[in-house]
Structure 1
Amino acid sequence: MAQIELKAHQLRNQAEKKMSSGGFFKTLFSNGACQIEESIEYYTRAGNLFKMAKNWTQAGHAFSDAAELSLRGDNYTDAAFNFVESANCFKKCDVAKAVELYLKAIEIYKDKGKIVAAAKYHQIIAELLEDDNDYYEAVEHYEKAIDFYKMEASYSSANKCLEKVAEYYALWENYDKAILIFQEIACFDLASSLMKYCAKQYLFRAAVCLLCANLDVTSKLETYINMYPAFEDSREYQLIVCLMECIEDNDFEGFTNAIRKFDSVTHLSQWHITMLLRAKNQIQDIPDLK
């Protein structure tokens, strides 16, 4: 690894020497473009060697320098590519720097009309910020990704981001917004013969939010059945009805057993468990009048 890093440093020094030789005015003439291209090659080769050595910081800087030179040479495609390469390195050691570099790539993609690529990297930023526990900022980038995906009619990709946004709004107790989003995704799936079977999971999530918000679940369930008649025969629907009855009867044990039984067949995510525990707290808040 030491030899690889040594070679990488040598290549980086060659790139810097190439750009500094002759000064600024020399780059204005015909050989200036060649100098830039050669320096970019040295920087990218150095970046790849630093990656092999797992020196992510130096790799990130090398690719970033290559990207900046590509911009000087008006090579926007390579600039965006190298900004992404740099960000991919920095995300292993410096989240803030990674986000900064992804955003530089996004600006190029937007300017060049590559809207889906811009959406993709907003989504990647959101996922990176989630891992860094920066959830509010993550949602902002998910929402930007959604807007761009919808502009290009990439609705399936948009819905993946919408699902994440709805989950966070629910966790933040903004149940009305979460319910609307889950219903929106369900409606999209119901319009497709291939995706129709997926609708029940989003109707189920919306119903869970209704339970947590202590809203009129019964009338909404009727609406969901009208939207998707098969929902009434699903285990998800039966669970919601059972949990409603447990809340009404102040049946703490029945509520817990119903969830345990459902989870033994259909695994509940951490989001579902968190939300259902909130709903169960309504039982604990009801005084025992016996």
Structure 2
Amino acid sequence: MDALAKAKEFESKADRKLKGWGLFGNKYEDTVELLQQAANHYKVAKSWDKAANCFIRVAEMHVKLDNRYEAATSYVDAAKCYMKNKPQDAINALNTATNIFLEMGKLSIAAKHFKDVGELYEKEEKWQEAMESYEKAADFYQGEEVTSSANQCKLKVAQFASQLELYPKAIEVYETVAKDSMGNNLLKYSVKGYLLSAGLCHLCSADHIAIQNAIERYEDLDPTFSNTREHKFLKDLAEAIEQEDVEKFTDVVKEFDSMTRLDGWKTTMLLRAKNAMKAKIDEDDDLT
């Protein structure tokens, strides 16, 4: 008998058991076991939706039995199956699981699954929802003092905030992570990158005074920053904006990119900054 046929047989047995008579606890416990077997065989058969549905039923049985932890993990198992082709159903199952974990005080586990939800929204390019999910994950990781994971999630929050043009929020997060990393010898080397990201968000405003003030703050925050390529890059870009020199801005970007390849996010921010500068130049021309 193949896996799919076995899965259907176990599910049928579970349905019969559920409809039959028996002691409350035993009836549901036996049904859980059968549905678990059905779900596992559906997984082997790569029948992901049916496997997920069985895991959901297992979770519901555990809720009736007041097995909260087992219920939550079954919702997570369902989500893993839904991830194959039904991301929104996966998100719904994970949200149900996280609610149960939060009620139980399992904050680190809840944080992990908020992060999972963020990743699913990210794949769907739903930046607002992704940002909110990563922010929840960061908060709970921070509360449990899992600093490394909290910072990873915070950086995702900053990334999506900047994509949504919520620059003050993105800047605040990048600067916070930079400050938090200064006291850690393993993380200190990353500070210049966080400060560069914050600086690029500042550039999108085309306000050269605000940019210069930010650079001065970063010099105070990290005494080594002044000697980095990232610092020179920001200073040169700020100077180009102050001089309203689009050609100089472009040359500065090309020079930096030739030594340190710019990723997609930085390229997007720089393009926005360049467009903001052009718009400011046009505005100034209109006033003269």
TM-score by length of 2: 0.91
1:230 deviation in Å? 1.0
RMSD of Structure 2 on Structure 1 (CA) = 1.9
* Distance in 1 separating the partners of 2:86 and 2:276: 42
2:145 maps to: 153
How far 1:283 sits from its partner (Å)? 4.1
Q: 2:176 pairs with 180, 184, 187, which one?
A: 184
Q: Deviations over 1:137-196 (max 9, x none)?
A: 222222221221122112221211111111222222222222111110000000212211
Equivalent residue letter for 2:62: S
Equivalent residue in structure 1 for 2:264, among 270, 277, 285: 270
Task: Tell me the residue number matched to 2:86.
Answer: 94
Tell me how far apart the structure 1 counterparts of residues 277 and 86 of structure 2 sit (CA, whole Å).
45
Please state how far the C-alpha of 1:122 moved relative to its aligned partner.
0.9
- Structure 1 residue 83 and structure 2 residue 75: aligned? yes
Percent identity, aligned pairs only, is 36
**Residue 66 (structure 1) aligns with:** 58
Instruction: Tell me how far 1:251 sits from its aligned partner.
Output: 3.4
CA contact (8 A) 1:247 1:282 kept: no
**Residue among 116, 128, 152 paired with 1:136:** 128
Q: Which moved more, 1:265-274 or 1:52-61?
A: 265-274
Unaligned runs of 5+ in 1: none
User: What residue is the counterpart of 2:193 in the other structure?
Assistant: 201
What is the number of equivalent residue pairs in this alignment? 281
In structure 2, what is the equivalent of residue 214 of structure 1? 206
Decide which of 36, 49, 54 is 1:57's aligned counterpart: 49
Is the 1:123–1:145 Cα contact (8 Å) retained in structure 2? yes
Q: Deviations over 1:198-250 (max 9, x none)?
A: 11111111111111112321222111111101111111111111212222344
TM-score, structure 1 normalization: 0.90
Q: Does 1:230 align with 2:230?
A: no
Residues 169, 175 of structure 1: 8 Å contact kept: yes
Letter in 1 for 2:255: K
Taking the aligned partners of 2:195 and 2:68, their CA distance within structure 1 comes to 44
Q: 1:172 aligns with which of 161, 164, 170?
A: 164
CA contact (8 A) 2:72 2:100 kept: yes
Measure, in 1, the Cα distance between the counterparts of 2:257 and 2:273.
16
3-state DSSP class of the match of 2:66?
coil
Paired position in structure 2 for 1:162:
154
Q: Provide, for residues 247-284 of structure 1, a one-character-per-residue CA deviation record: whole Å limited to 9, x for no partner.
A: 23443333223223322332322111111001111443
Structure 1 residues 257-266 or 177-186, which shifts more?
257-266
Native 8 Å contact 2:108 2:144 kept in 1: yes
CA distance in 2, matches of 1:129, 1:55: 23
Distance apart, 1:109 and its partner CA: 1.0
Looking at structure 1, the residues matched to 30 and 261 of structure 2 have their Cα atoms a distance apart, in angstroms, of 55
Matches within 5 A, 1:113-132: 113-132=105-124
**2:215 counterpart of 1:259:** no
**Contact in 1 for aligned 2:205/2:276 (Cα 8 Å):** no
The SS at the match of 1:229 is coil
Tell me which of 87, 94, 103 is aligned to 1:111: 103
